[in-house]
């Protein structure tokens, strides 16, 4: 079969065209991957996220049930298909949209410091190895200063938005591919730091060490470890110990974790925040794809994790996207009209997690959505439209988006309530630190209104920034002290599996509404 692939700059302009010959019944997603035209397969290619939309000019296969779910009959007749669902059954021409979803090369949540550097100084790189986002910091080891920062998308997101999907792909034979993918990302990120530094200072920094802080799954994929036991109960990692080796004269350190779902990123963040400096109760909430939360009760660390899924980071949302230029991050709804704010102040391309939370809160306020997540009769069957892209596509929130949000928010708040039970009557003095991609810019009022966070902790919430990256930076500067503190935290941390709580199912179901908790 002959397939013509057109990479489209916009709806009308062909940026690049290539022709290839393939056997019958080849998956279009596989073919596009082979040709370097990567789309977002947030669901791992299961046809449940609708992100890999293409237009088949001619030669489209019969639409699948998943495709009928995401496209109208008119769109199907026009040739719209999901790349992960379509099989090549005849010669065809496929138009593939140019991917806009790339993270901004902006400062991570640490301050970039202007400093006078000396050619004799040595440098290290701290890396937060996140499921969605990779954050880098170049550190002058002589003065202990951060001199450059950089943030980029984790390109593994092409193979699935959450850790469970990526582990599934790894266990199906893609482990080496995923390892190579993240390896390239790290090389590119470090090179960007070096290039930025060289442009400013006139010489290339002398690199001697890299410190990586990441969740357990990401560290497994980076090192090429099998995920077979990690992906199924009782979720046993190959190792969570600190790992060190030397590569091309550079010392590489992967910071230790505590369990399958309380990884090095959380231990790094706790070390940086130094909760155990006093006996005041404190709670760290990392609101990412896997919601990790750790309570310091004055004597010990109690941790749990909630499989929130990618909805709070824009994944598995019909018009969702990561925090990229053009992503809607805030929504004002008045009556049946809405105004949106986008990252960079440019035309909207989708909606990210904070925007989704803000929009749902606004829909509740305007009685366009009830506490059970059901739209009022004033909202169209296709969902509530927030804005329109430059290509005329509607950015909307659908019934399924609401359900995805409810699943994510129920998992998070159930975990929080479980840990709060361990505090007895000390909730009023509890300090809550919000980390992770959503936590840094979380609209707290909207989070409480939609039931994502319990109302009793509202006044005590504070953004903590990228604590994982901050901990890795601190390790670069003072490795001996940080190593001791990390080991102490790991030794005094007890993991409380959320699914072993006797009231878990009852609480999860109870929180599957938009009521204030």
| CA-to-CA dists, residue 6 to 9, 51, 93, angstroms | 9, 18, 8
In this structure, is residue 301 part of a structural domain? Answer: no
Same domain, 328 and 371: yes
Joined together, the tokens standing for residue 503 give: 């009231």
In this structure, is residue 448 part of a structural domain? Answer: no
Same domain, 246 and 165: yes
The phi, psi pair for 501, rounded to 5°, reads -70, 125
Question: What's the whole-number mean pLDDT along residues 59-72?
Answer: 87
Q: Which of 397, 430, 464 is the last residue of a domain?
A: 397
Does 474 score more than 90 pLDDT? yes
Question: What's the whole-number mean pLDDT along residues 462-485?
Answer: 94
Does 148 score more than 70 pLDDT? yes
Question: What's the whole-number mean pLDDT along residues 154-174?
Answer: 89
| Percent of the chain at pLDDT exceeding 70 | 93
- CATH code of the domain covering residue 78: 3.10.20.30
DSSP string, 424-435: TT-GGG-EEEEE
In this structure, is residue 139 part of a structural domain? Answer: yes
Same domain, 133 and 241: yes
Q: Which of 365, 397, 429 is the last residue of a domain?
A: 397
Q: Which residues in 43-113 belong to E strands, given as ranges?
A: 53-58, 80-82, 92-97
| 3-state SS track over 250-302 | EEEEECCCCCCCCCHHHHHHHHHHCHHHCCCCEEEEECCCCEEEEEECCCCEE
The phi, psi pair for 21, rounded to 5°, reads -110, 130
- pLDDT score of 427: 62
Sheet with strand 122-129: strands edge to edge:
145-153, 133-140, 122-129, 206-214, 250-254, 243-247
Q: Which of 363, 397, 431 is the last residue of a domain?
A: 397
Which residues touch 255 (CB under 8 Å, ≥6 apart)? 211, 212, 213, 214, 242, 264, 267, 268, 471, 472, 475, 486
Same domain, 129 and 244: yes
Give me the half-sphere count of Cα atoms (radius 13 Å) on the Cβ side of residue 383. Answer: 19
Q: Among 144, 117, 44, 37, which residue's Cα sits nearest to residue 85? A: 44
Question: What's the whole-number mean pLDDT along residues 241-261?
Answer: 95
- pLDDT score of 108: 36
Does 195 score more than 50 pLDDT? yes
Q: Are 41 and 52 in contact (CB under 8 A)?
A: yes
Higher pLDDT: 146 or 102? It is 146
Other Cβ atoms less than 10 A from the Cβ of 242: the count is: 17
Joined together, the tokens standing for residue 267 give: 């231990």
Q: Are 140 and 132 in contact (CB under 8 A)?
A: no
Q: Are 292 and 433 in contact (CB under 8 A)?
A: no
Sheet with strand 493-495: strands edge to edge:
461-463, 431-435, 282-286, 291-296, 301-306, 493-495
- pLDDT score of 38: 65
- pLDDT score of 225: 97
In this structure, is residue 446 part of a structural domain? Answer: no
In this structure, is residue 85 part of a structural domain? Answer: yes
Does 157 score more than 90 pLDDT? no
Q: Is 83 left (phi over 0), alpha (psi -120 to 50) or beta?
A: alpha
| CA-to-CA dists, residue 294 to 195, 300, 422, 485, 505, angstroms | 37, 10, 11, 16, 21
Domain count across the chain: 3
- If you ran DSSP here, which 8-state letter would residue 57 be given? E
In this structure, is residue 71 part of a structural domain? Answer: yes
Same domain, 165 and 250: yes
- Could you tell me the sign of the dihedral formed by the alpha carbons of 189, 195, 201, 205, in that order? positive
pLDDT band at 111 (very low <50, low <70, confident <90, very high): very low
Same domain, 164 and 46: no
Does 384 score more than 90 pLDDT? yes
- 0.85 surpassed by pTM: no
In this structure, is residue 343 part of a structural domain? Answer: yes
Same domain, 142 and 248: yes
The phi, psi pair for 377, rounded to 5°, reads -65, -15
| 3-state SS track over 407-424 | HHHHHHHHHHHHHHHHHC
- pLDDT score of 169: 93
- pLDDT score of 109: 37
Same domain, 7 and 78: yes
Other Cβ atoms less than 10 A from the Cβ of 367: the count is: 10
Q: Among 372, 383, 367, which residue's Cα sits nearest to residue 334? A: 367
- Mean pLDDT for all residues in the chain: 88
Question: What's the whole-number mean pLDDT along residues 55-81?
Answer: 89
Higher pLDDT: 71 or 209? It is 209
Of 119-123, 170-174, 335-339, 370-374, minimum mean pLDDT range? 119-123
- Could you tell me the sign of the dihedral formed by the alpha carbons of 125, 128, 129, 134, in that order? negative
Q: Please state whether the peptide bond connecting residue 234 to the residue before it is cis, i.e. omega within 30 degrees of 0.
A: yes
Helices (H), 157-251: 163-169, 175-201, 216-223
- CATH code of the domain covering residue 131: 3.30.420.480
Does 160 score more than 80 pLDDT? yes
Give the length of the chain. 517
Same domain, 142 and 65: no
Does 263 score more than 50 pLDDT? yes
In this structure, is residue 264 part of a structural domain? Answer: no
Nearest-angstrom CA–CA distance, 464 and 342? 23
| Percent of the chain at pLDDT exceeding 90 | 60
- Listed ranges 21-30, 49-58, 348-357, 472-481; the one with the highest mean pLDDT: 472-481
Nearest-angstrom CA–CA distance, 211 and 252? 6
- pLDDT score of 489: 96
Does 42 score more than 80 pLDDT? no
Question: What's the whole-number mean pLDDT along residues 203-220?
Answer: 95
Question: What's the whole-number mean pLDDT along residues 2-30?
Answer: 85
- Domain extent, residue 212, equals 122-254
140 in helix, strand or coil?
strand
Does 129 score more than 90 pLDDT? yes
Same domain, 132 and 241: yes
Question: What's the whole-number mean pLDDT along residues 64-82?
Answer: 88
Same domain, 161 and 239: yes
- pLDDT score of 288: 75
Does 56 score more than 60 pLDDT? yes
Same domain, 126 and 249: yes
Does 113 score more than 90 pLDDT? no
Burial class (CB in 10 A: 0-12, 13-18, 19+), 305: buried
């Amino acid at each position: 079969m002959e397939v013509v692939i057109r990479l489209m700059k916009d709806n009308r302009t062909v940026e690049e065209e290539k022709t290839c010959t393939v056997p019958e019944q080849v998956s279009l997603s596989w073919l596009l991957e082979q040709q370097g035209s990567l789309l977002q397969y947030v669901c791992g290619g299961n046809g449940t996220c609708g992100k890999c939309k293409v237009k088949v000019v001619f030669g489209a296969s019969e639409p699948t049930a998943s495709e009928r779910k995401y496209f109208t009959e008119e769109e199907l007749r026009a040739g719209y298909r999901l790349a992960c669902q379509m099989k090549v059954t005849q010669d065809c021409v496929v138009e593939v949209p140019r991917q806009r979803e790339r993270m901004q090369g902006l400062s991570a949540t640490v301050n970039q410091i202007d400093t006078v550097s000396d050619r004799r100084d040595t440098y290290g790189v701290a890396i937060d190895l996140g499921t969605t986002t990779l954050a880098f910091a170049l550190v002058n080891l002589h003065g202990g200063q951060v001199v450059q920062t950089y943030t980029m998308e984790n390109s593994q997101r092409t193979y699935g938005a959450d850790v469970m999907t990526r582990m599934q792909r790894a266990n199906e034979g893609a482990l080496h591919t995923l390892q190579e993918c993240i390896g390239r990302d790290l090389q590119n990120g470090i090179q960007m730091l070096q290039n930025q530094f060289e442009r400013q200072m006139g010489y290339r920094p002398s690199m001697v060490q890299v410190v990586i802080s990441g969740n357990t799954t990401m560290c497994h994929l980076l090192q090429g470890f099998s995920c077979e036991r990690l992906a199924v109960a009782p979720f046993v990692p190959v190792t969570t110990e600190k790992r060190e080796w030397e590569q091309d004269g550079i010392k590489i350190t992967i910071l230790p974790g505590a369990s399958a779902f309380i990884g090095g990123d959380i231990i790094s963040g706790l070390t940086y925040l130094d909760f155990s400096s006093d006996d005041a109760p404190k709670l760290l909430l990392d609101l990412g794809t896997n919601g990790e939360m750790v309570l310091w009760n004055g004597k010990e660390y109690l941790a749990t994790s909630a499989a929130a899924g990618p909805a709070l980071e824009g994944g598995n949302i019909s018009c969702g996207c990561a925090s990229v230029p053009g992503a809607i991050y805030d929504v004002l709804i008045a009556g049946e009209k809405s105004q949106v704010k986008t990252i960079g102040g440019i035309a909207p391309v989708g909606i990210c997690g904070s925007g989704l939370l803000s929009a749902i809160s606004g829909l509740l306020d305007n009685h366009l959505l009830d506490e059970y997540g059901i739209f009022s009769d004033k909202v169209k069957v296709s969902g509530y439209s927030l804005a329109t892209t430059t290509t005329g596509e509607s950015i909307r929130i659908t019934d399924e988006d609401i359900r995805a949000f409810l699943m994510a928010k129920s998992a998070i708040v159930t975990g929080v309530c479980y840990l709060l039970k361990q505090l007895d009557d000390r909730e009023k003095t509890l300090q809550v630190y919000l980390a992770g991609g959503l936590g840094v810019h979380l609209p707290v009022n909207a989070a409480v209104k939609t039931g994502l966070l319990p109302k009793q902790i509202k006044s005590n919430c504070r953004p903590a920034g990228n604590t994982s990256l901050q901990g890795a930076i601190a390790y670069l500067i003072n490795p001996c002290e940080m190593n001791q503190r990390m080991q102490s935290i790991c030794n005094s941390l007890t993991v409380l599996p959320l699914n072993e709580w006797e009231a878990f199912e009852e609480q999860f179901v109870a929180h599957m509404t938009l009521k204030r908790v």
